[in-house]
Structure 1
Amino acid sequence: MSLCLLTGREGELWVGTGRGLYCFHDGAVTPLGEPEGLLGTYTYPILQDRAGVIWVGTSEGGLSRIEQGKVTATWGQRPGKSGRPGLPGDDVLALCEDHTGALWLGSSTGLTRKEGNRFTTYRPANGLSGLPVRVIHEEPDGSLLIGAGTTLCRFAGGKFTRMGTNEGYPVPDAQVLFIGRDRDGNLWIGTNRGLVCQRQGRFTLYGVADGLPNPNVKYLYHDSQGILWFGTAGGLVHFANHRFTAITTRQGLFDDNIHVILVDDQDRFWMSSNLGIFTVPRAELTACAEKRQPRVTCRVFGPSDGMRDQEGNGSRQPAGCRAADGSLWFPTTNGIAILNPVTLPYNASPPPVTIERLLADGQSLENLSPVLPVHTQTVEIHYTGLSFILPKQVTFAYQLSGLSQDWQAAGSRRTAYFSGLPPGTYTFRVRAFNRDGVASANVAEVRFSIPAPWYRTRLAYAGYLLLALSLIAEGVRWRLAALRRLALRLEQTVAARTAEIYQQQEALRGQRDEIERKNAEMLESIRYAERIQRALLPRAGQLTTTLTDAFVVYLPRDIVSGDFYRKNAVKPCTLGQGYKAHAVLSSQTCDKIAV
């Protein structure tokens, strides 16, 4: 029994009863599960056919048909809880509508074709290469590619052909997680051992070494800009210009295990994961992948938004679908979560923000004291934003003026930590954002200062300066004295060396004079020999009186001559050989010498 009602400033409804106070607000998620007629809680593939009918497979409730948001029929292995009979088992793990309108189902027991109320099942005995069947994909030629167990096989003309190394398929023993083609006609196969691409008949395997954050590749989306996006167990992957770029929780992604990627009319990506459903604008993801911004901001949906269980399911295809009316359908561990991006509730009320307390080295300060103790090593500031609608999704950003003018995104954390702050005056500011990104109207702030110890005061620094100047002056004085001593030593050395050189010069002069004296004596002896030699030569007048045809040639090379030569008509007379100078004696003397 309600005793009172109140509408809050954020549009929430407060109901007071005899058993307590309740708060109600619009949820973003519409759940559809067992209470609504779905057989089974674990939902896997969701498919909308050409007629607009939604088909859902579950792990224990068979196949369900949903029209206009209501479960209208179910099929299982036998009648009763599982609905109409016809399926080979109560689990449906994969769905595919072929070009004829027939519905294909994959399960742990085989591949089943549903045409109207007629079911035809193919098992390993019929040539199916493995179990369970998790992925079914129709090729342009009408054949089916099937992920069966840890194999990939093709079904055409009623026959199964396992893809192996003979066909060029590089991972014949890998579990297939999705199969799809991009707009260029290239075939992409996601496995638990990497991503396989077939271009112009050739297979290429991409792995962690090529840029994938995880070898488990679960989903493919080809956007309007020609960029391929892959959901993996290690994050979202952007593929452009033959390069893989991963966006993970380190860049702000809510969770790394991406089951499916759906896109709304506002070009926002909607992804399910083990932690919930979240959405990010594609432009923001592209900017992050191209290094134009460091992080992305996700809006998250969970139990507080109406989900009965936040954990999504994947690795069975299709792992979600966008319906004709724009609503998005996600399989979870407890039914289906349905969101309509157009009708999402919007909270336009800005959340008030306040600072609760300030701690210095773990000690709380009363009245947010502006002066902290000397030698403070750590500062903690606790703050909060006030919102009764999804308060856990209120996020914050703060700034510590005096340390940095940049605003830091803190997410939903309500405590800021600073360590090793130098002495100074600081102003801490914080603002809050509700789950729709509306910022608080005010900015909460607190000012505080950390005093410097005595040895870091201005007076201490002045003393340090004087001491430094004194040390510099003393160093300069000592250096100048050292230079003077060095100059004196150099002068003494130069003087000693100069005196030594003078002594050597005097000794050399003495030796020169002695050599000149010896040379003079030798020259005097040689000139004396010359006079003797000239004295031996006959006078020209003496020869002409004796000889009518005679002459004297005396041409010494230096001062004195060497051998004497005589030549007449009878025979020559030779005294010696090897000298260029010649002396001619009288004919009688030469004759006597020759005899």
Structure 2
Amino acid sequence: MDDDTWFAGTDNMGLWMISRSGDSINARSVGDTLFMNTNIPALNAGPERTLTIATKELGAVKVKFSADFSEMFITGRYDVTSGLPDNNVRTIFTDREENLWIGLYTSGLAAVTTNAFTFCRPESDKEITYIGRAGTQVVAGTRSGLFDFDPLTGNFTRYRNIAARTGGSGITSWSADDPGNIWIGTAGDGLWLMKPDGNLKQFYRSGSPGRNHINSVAVENNNVWLGTSDGVVLLDRETGVQKSVYTTMELLPHNFISQVVVNRDGEVLVATKSDRLCYIHVTGGVRTEGEFMEGRLVNDIISISVAHDRSVCAGTKGNGLFLFAADTLLNYTEDDGLLNNFCYSAMIASDGRIWTGHQKGFSIINPATGSVRSYSTDFGVRGDCLSNALAQLPDGTVCVGTTDGLVVYNPSLEPDSIIAPQAEIISVVINNVVYPYRESYNLPYRKSYTVKVNYAGIFLRDPLNVVYRTRLDKDEQWGEITGDRSVAYSGLRDGHYQFSVEALTRDDPESATIASFDLVIQKPVTDRWWFLLSVLALIAGVVYIIVRLRERAHRKQREYLESELQKRTAEVNEQKEELAQKNLDITESIKYAKRIQSSVLPDIARLNTVFREAFVFFQPRDIVSGDFYWFDWVDKDRFIVVCSDSTGHGVPGAFMSMIGTALLQDIITVKKIIRPSQILHELDRQIFSTLNQNQELEASNDGMDIVVCEFNMATRQLVFSSAMRPVILVIDGVQHYVRGNRSSVGGESVSEKFYDDQEYHLREGDMVFLFTDGYCDQFGGPGGKKMKISRLKTLIDDISPMSAADQYREVKGFFFEWMGEGDQVDDVLFMGMRV
């Protein structure tokens, strides 16, 4: 126990303590009254001065000593009453999980994995069909009578034989309430009530034999509910008067009722043959609700329980246990770990776990983790669990009634922490060859390997509750939790792998241990560093030689090209000079043509002698223009003004403008045709005739858009005729946009072209604007858009009140501002005259 204290077990002389004090050693007998003349073959020392003693007659006894070892206290006993096959213990041992292993002389090996369970048996009448609390006293009911029971000591006391006093048919159900009343259901003699003082009287008896066979009793504030072999009976708690009877006539699924439990005040849940939950309310009657419970057999609910959160569990006869939680229905069967699919009792404990009783054992379900643990004969359970003999006391203690006494579970005795399972790798199978476990495996290169790993989690406390998760590389996520004890990987190629397996329990997935090993599959020779380095060196040498050869070829090629380039450069320079001279000659010719064209056009200054004021904005796109103007007197009062846009621009346009000017001179001054519409008709005819004299050549489509205005300066009468060009008049400050005829002069030969005269009477100060389409078609402004006629109209509205000189500056300035850095798209002619 410590450096100065030892204990020794003897043959038939009990337990001795040996202590050292200075140079002297003393020995004395310990626990004379308990271990006198006892054979003690083994001892096991524990922490905090605890000692477990193996005896040949008393089983194993666990004791604890005071600080000075002067007093000894018994803290646990393990014998036949606790589940041992017999009391003849030979050896004991405590493992790393603090499980106590007990070796028996003739009955094998037993393990104590928890101190929270105890087995309590009365000396007689051992079939415990009910456990509950009457007032403050815990009572245990049997088929014949009633015990007082102390869960702390496990003692059954004060047995009362009641079956003989209740008609002799036998007791089938019990219920106890807070005032201490005990309600007793019988197999044929109705319901009896025993008061706290022991007074026993019959509380209810029916004229129907089936309703006198009471399988379950549920007591609430004002009502007593009876589950019978012929429906559910509702009684008044004070008077015993029958309030209602519910059978299949009232839509009850079946008349045989296994259990009734209170769901809330005035309502019970009924366990019977039904595939849905069945409720009965004192005012609403029978109703079924919830999802359908489907199983292998016809669904027969024989036990039922309601939790504080209104979750419901239903134990069935052959279909396992169903749990209704919120909107979810879960079914637990033998496939999920239940000991048996016949669940004779069911209860949802305060911690959320579900207890259910079977033949030869019971199961505990933890819905939070999905784990199911079963306890059977190997755990020490000797009897069968009885119908609905399952209860939880206020302190959390759970009692399970069996045909061989009670199994009592005290959660306060569970260990604070549980050591995680020990993960162990058993073997590694590589390409069907089994290798023992080692920390690393180094494999030669192959195209692929198949590796299977066998492992286990050592957890002697509950080996069936061990689960695993694995991963092949340390950087991967863990796999799904599974109960499988092996995993296989196929198609593994070269690389460094690390396999890890984690052993844990379903109840505590956060606590785990890990076992691992490294697996290295060598790379192929072609992927080794020295091979790659050699290949790189060879490639570098070949590349160097190729580069040097190409450099020499490139040098020769460059020298040849430089020589050829010098020759070609000389030829290009010579051609450039020749083209420059020709371009200069052409440009000089065009400039001379401009002087000729300018000499043909009338002097703009003459307009200011005829009109109050006038301006002409003339802007050829190239040196010479296709747009032209013409004006002259035809008599002392009438003055003709022409604004024309010939086909094309540059030199072709200039030719057309020269032809147009010559033809107008001939028509107006020689032939004396002065009416604007007649001038256009005659001009159209002569242009077509002039441009199509040589019939062998292709017919010409050249022509012009033109407006001819006749001003009577004496009367201020304006007569004009237009081919495709509009005229803008500003009369009394109001702008008038006048369209022309839709036929050009010249161009295609059309048999009927119509040019009419339009007349306007002008007042002094009115403006007449003539222009070609080059002004409105210019691109520019924001976004590089076309100017269009709408902007021109706005411009004329703005400038019409100005003087002609200012108008000229505004028209010119607006045009160049709109054009910006862009190119001029056409010749521009803009004329303005104020009468």
Measured against the shorter chain, the TM-score band is 0.5 to 0.7
Among 43, 47, 55, the alignment partner of 2:140 is 55
What residue identity is the alignment partner of 2:424? T
What residue identity is the alignment partner of 1:198? I
What residue identity is the alignment partner of 2:133? Q
- Indicate if the aligned counterparts of 1:432 and 1:439 stay in contact, CA closer than 8 A: no
Deviation readout 1:200-227 (Å, 9 max, x if unpaired): 424212376488995526213132xx43
The match for 1:428 is 499
- Indicate if the aligned counterparts of 1:428 and 1:445 stay in contact, CA closer than 8 A: yes
Matches within 5 A, 1:191-206: 191-193=272-274, 194-199=276-281, 200-206=283-289
Structure 1 residue 113: Cα displacement: 1.3
Q: Distance in 2 between matches of 1:228 and 1:12?
A: 35
2:434 pairs with 1:354: no
Structure 1 residue 149: Cα displacement: 1.6
Distance 1:87 1:379, change over 3 A: farther
- Indicate if the aligned counterparts of 1:2 and 1:17 stay in contact, CA closer than 8 A: no
Q: Distance in 1 between matches of 2:447 and 2:213?
A: 66
Structure 1 residue 349: Cα displacement: 3.4
- Indicate if the aligned counterparts of 1:129 and 1:162 stay in contact, CA closer than 8 A: no
Structure 1 residue 95: Cα displacement: 0.8
Q: Distance in 1 between matches of 2:278 and 2:104?
A: 60
The match for 1:365 is 435
- Indicate if the aligned counterparts of 1:356 and 1:384 stay in contact, CA closer than 8 A: yes
- Indicate if the aligned counterparts of 1:63 and 1:92 stay in contact, CA closer than 8 A: no
Distance 1:280 1:176, change over 3 A: same
Distance 1:440 1:328, change over 3 A: closer
Q: Distance in 1 between matches of 2:139 and 2:412?
A: 20
Among 40, 58, 64, the alignment partner of 2:147 is 64
Structure 1 residue 145: Cα displacement: 2.2
Deviation readout 1:421-464 (Å, 9 max, x if unpaired): 334365432222368738777411245589999xxxxxxxxxxx
The match for 2:43 is 5
- Indicate if the aligned counterparts of 2:261 and 2:305 stay in contact, CA closer than 8 A: yes
Q: Distance in 1 between matches of 2:259 and 2:420?
A: 43
Note the residue ranges of structure 1 that are not aligned, 5 or more in a row.
79-84, 285-294, 454-595
Q: Distance in 2 between matches of 1:386 and 1:333?
A: 34
The match for 1:504 is none
What residue identity is the alignment partner of 2:434? S
The match for 2:330 is 246
- Indicate if the aligned counterparts of 1:5 and 1:16 stay in contact, CA closer than 8 A: no
For the pair shown, which has the larger CA radius of gyration, 1 or 2?
Answer: 2
- Indicate if the aligned counterparts of 1:38 and 1:71 stay in contact, CA closer than 8 A: no
Q: Distance in 2 between matches of 1:90 and 1:128?
A: 12
Structure 1 residue 355: Cα displacement: 0.6
What residue identity is the alignment partner of 1:410? T
Distance 1:44 1:380, change over 3 A: farther
Equivalent residue of 1:205, what SS? Answer: strand
Distance 1:333 1:416, change over 3 A: farther
The match for 1:263 is 349
What residue identity is the alignment partner of 2:422? P
Distance 1:246 1:219, change over 3 A: same
Matches within 5 A, 1:14-163: 26-33=114-121, 36-37=122-123, 39-41=125-127, 43-58=128-143, 62-67=145-150, 69-76=154-161, 85-89=164-168, 91-97=170-176, 101-115=180-194, 116-120=197-201, 126-130=207-211, 132-142=213-223, 144-156=224-236, 162-163=245-246
Among 407, 411, 419, the alignment partner of 2:479 is 407
Deviation readout 1:25-51 (Å, 9 max, x if unpaired): 543211112xx435134x332221113
Q: Distance in 2 between matches of 1:403 and 1:346?
A: 33
Distance 1:139 1:16, change over 3 A: closer
2:370 pairs with 1:296: yes
Structure 1 residue 96: Cα displacement: 1.8
Structure 1 residue 75: Cα displacement: 4.0
Among 461, 468, 482, the alignment partner of 1:396 is 468
What residue identity is the alignment partner of 2:371? T
Q: Distance in 2 between matches of 1:237 and 1:396?
A: 26
2:454 pairs with 1:382: yes
- Larger RCO: 1 or 2 (CA < 8 Å, sep 6+): 1
Equivalent residue of 1:175, what SS? Answer: coil
- Indicate if the aligned counterparts of 1:62 and 1:91 stay in contact, CA closer than 8 A: no
Deviation readout 1:2-29 (Å, 9 max, x if unpaired): 4443454333456778878876554321
The match for 2:315 is 232
- Indicate if the aligned counterparts of 1:271 and 1:278 stay in contact, CA closer than 8 A: yes
2:386 pairs with 1:313: yes
Structure 1 residue 138: Cα displacement: 2.8
Structure 1 residue 354: Cα displacement: 1.2
What residue identity is the alignment partner of 1:153? V
Distance 1:230 1:451, change over 3 A: farther
What residue identity is the alignment partner of 1:231? A
Q: Distance in 2 between matches of 1:195 and 1:125?
A: 27
- Indicate if the aligned counterparts of 1:104 and 1:111 stay in contact, CA closer than 8 A: no
Distance 1:406 1:313, change over 3 A: farther
How well do the aligned residues superpose, as a CA RMSD in angstroms?
Answer: 4.4
What residue identity is the alignment partner of 1:218? S
Q: Distance in 2 between matches of 1:148 and 1:139?
A: 17
Matches within 5 A, 1:262-281: 262-264=348-350, 267-274=351-358, 276-278=362-364, 280=366
Structure 1 residue 228: Cα displacement: 2.8
Q: Distance in 2 between matches of 1:187 and 1:13?
A: 45
Q: Distance in 1 between matches of 2:186 and 2:406?
A: 19
The match for 2:709 is none
Equivalent residue of 1:40, what SS? Answer: coil
Q: Distance in 1 between matches of 2:103 and 2:300?
A: 53
Equivalent residue of 1:272, what SS? Answer: strand
Distance 1:423 1:385, change over 3 A: closer
Structure 1 residue 338: Cα displacement: 0.9
Structure 1 residue 135: Cα displacement: 0.8
Q: Distance in 1 between matches of 2:218 and 2:103?
A: 54
Deviation readout 1:243-300 (Å, 9 max, x if unpaired): 4522535996756665322433xx332412325232527xx3xxxxxxxxxx623565
What residue identity is the alignment partner of 2:217? I
What residue identity is the alignment partner of 1:313? L
Q: Distance in 1 between matches of 2:407 and 2:362?
A: 10
Q: Distance in 2 between matches of 1:165 and 1:21?
A: 54
- Indicate if the aligned counterparts of 1:62 and 1:90 stay in contact, CA closer than 8 A: no
Note the residue ranges of structure 2 that are not aligned, 5 or more in a row.
1-38, 45-93, 525-835
Distance 1:398 1:184, change over 3 A: farther
What residue identity is the alignment partner of 2:259? F
Q: Distance in 2 between matches of 1:404 and 1:249?
A: 34
Structure 1 residue 187: Cα displacement: 3.2
Equivalent residue of 1:129, what SS? Answer: helix
- Indicate if the aligned counterparts of 1:48 and 1:321 stay in contact, CA closer than 8 A: no
Deviation readout 1:164-221 (Å, 9 max, x if unpaired): 355x3433x4322322333464432221224222354242123764889955262131
